């Protein structure tokens, strides 16, 4: 299994990024999306983008010339040039801004432990082996929730934002992932296929892991 570790990138460089390009939506799409604007250019593939807290910058993963795997980039919405912020080694994914916009979480499959500490910009937060990814911050910036296979299959964990005090909050068979904190930081919303493989449903779990609530129950819906 590819080893993915959660990385924390601090002191984000001032980034340049992109002009808007107008794209048309189909009639069906306009029910949910309108005024669609293109924000990346010149990349073979780019996706999984997230806004910074102030809405002026995006973080995303992309293939680029010279790098065989996805790398993490940041880009201001009024510029054209993305800035690579991941180490450039191994596969990277799952970028997510801290609430103050000064740090960026991402997951990396590179295995060189020195890379995480280069110039004190990136540091390894979850080096337990296996898959550690799909991380997001609490709204106060003090905690991180993430998915890990450290106990055998994908389950949910919470840790302090410096990587300490890791504790498991969900331990079920099957996939449990895609976690996000509720606005009051007391609950975590996540998806799980525990009822039927590859058929994802939504759940809530309290941050202490003691209370769990199933929100959807439609095995015809992925």
Question: What residue spans define the domains of the chain?
Answer: 1-127, 131-222
Given this model, what pLDDT does residue 15 score?
A: 36
Higher pLDDT, 23 or 86: 86
C-beta of residue 17 within 8 angstroms of C-beta of residue 76: yes
Position 17 pLDDT exceeds 70: no
Position 57 pLDDT exceeds 80: yes
pTM for the full predicted model: 0.78
Position 18 pLDDT exceeds 80: no
Structure tokens at 49: 């983008």
pLDDT category of residue 204 using cuts at 50, 70 and 90: very high
Query: What's the burial of 139, exposed, middle or buried (CB within 10 Å: 0-12/13-18/19+)?
Result: middle
Mean pLDDT of the chain: 81
Q: How far is CA 192 from CA 100, 112, 136, 156, 218, in A?
A: 30, 32, 17, 10, 12
Query: What's the burial of 6, exposed, middle or buried (CB within 10 Å: 0-12/13-18/19+)?
Result: buried
Mean pLDDT for 97-117 is 68
Position 68 pLDDT exceeds 50: yes
């Amino acid at each position: 299994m590819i080893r993915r570790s959660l990385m924390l990138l601090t002191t984000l460089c001032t980034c340049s990024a992109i002009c808007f390009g107008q794209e048309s939506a189909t009639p069906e799409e306009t029910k949910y999306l309108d005024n669609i604007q293109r924000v990346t250019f010149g990349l073979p593939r780019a996706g999984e983008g997230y806004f910074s807290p102030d809405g002026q910058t995006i973080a995303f993963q992309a293939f680029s010339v010279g790098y065989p795997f996805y790398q993490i980039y940041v880009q201001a919405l009024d510029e054209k040039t993305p800035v690579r912020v991941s180490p450039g080694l191994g596969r990277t994914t799952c970028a997510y801004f801290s609430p103050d916009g000064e740090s960026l979480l991402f997951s990396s499959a590179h295995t060189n432990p020195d890379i995480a500490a280069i110039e004190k910009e990136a540091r390894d937060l979850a080096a337990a082996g296996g898959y550690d990814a799909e991380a997001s911050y609490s709204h106060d910036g003090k905690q991180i929730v993430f998915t890990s296979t450290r106990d055998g299959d994908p389950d949910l964990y919470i840790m302090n934002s410096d990587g300490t005090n890791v504790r498991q909050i969900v331990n079920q068979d099957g996939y449990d992932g895609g976690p996000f904190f509720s606005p009051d930081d007391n609950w975590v919303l996540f998806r799980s296929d525990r009822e039927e493989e590859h058929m994802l449903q939504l759940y809530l779990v309290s941050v202490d892991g003691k209370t769990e609530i199933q929100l959807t129950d439609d095995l015809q819906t992925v």
